[in-house]
Amino acid sequence: MQLEGQSKLLRIFVGEADRIAHQWLYEAIILKARENGLAGATALKGIMSYGASSRLHRARLVELSEDLPVVIEIVDQAEKIDAFIPVVNQLFEQCGKGGLITIEKVDVIYYKPKN
């Protein structure tokens, strides 16, 4: 797949503990992105966050947090990102939890598979 120039970055914020049945929400999103042929996706685990509820989530040695922030980043052509947003919305509905979805314009400088 060739991906260069103007693209979009889809950034999805979820909680580590968010699940759909027995599957992590972040995992379900990444697997759906792959199934839909998106260029790539990465889940990043945060160490501290708060969102719409203002509830603080943080990782400390003294306390084990069970719901750290996870950010999923997906970069692809604008049309493919736009078409994937309803899929993410449906996964949020199935999960029954809130979240945040943002989109940014990005310039892809380099994207090639390793030979």
- The whole-number pLDDT of residue 63 equals 53
For the chain of 115 residues, list the mean pLDDT of each consecutive stretch of 10.
83 92 95 95 84 67 67 95 96 89 92 71
113 domain-assigned: no
115 domain-assigned: no
- The whole-number pLDDT of residue 10 equals 98
Q: Which two tokens stand for residue 112?
A: 């090639």
Determine phi and psi for 22, rounding to 5 degrees.
-105, 15
Cβ neighbors of 65 (< 8 A, separation 6 or more) are: 16, 57, 58, 59
- Domain with 27, as residue range(s), is 5-108
- The whole-number pLDDT of residue 33 equals 97
- The whole-number pLDDT of residue 13 equals 94
| CATH at 79 | 3.30.70.120
- The whole-number pLDDT of residue 38 equals 95
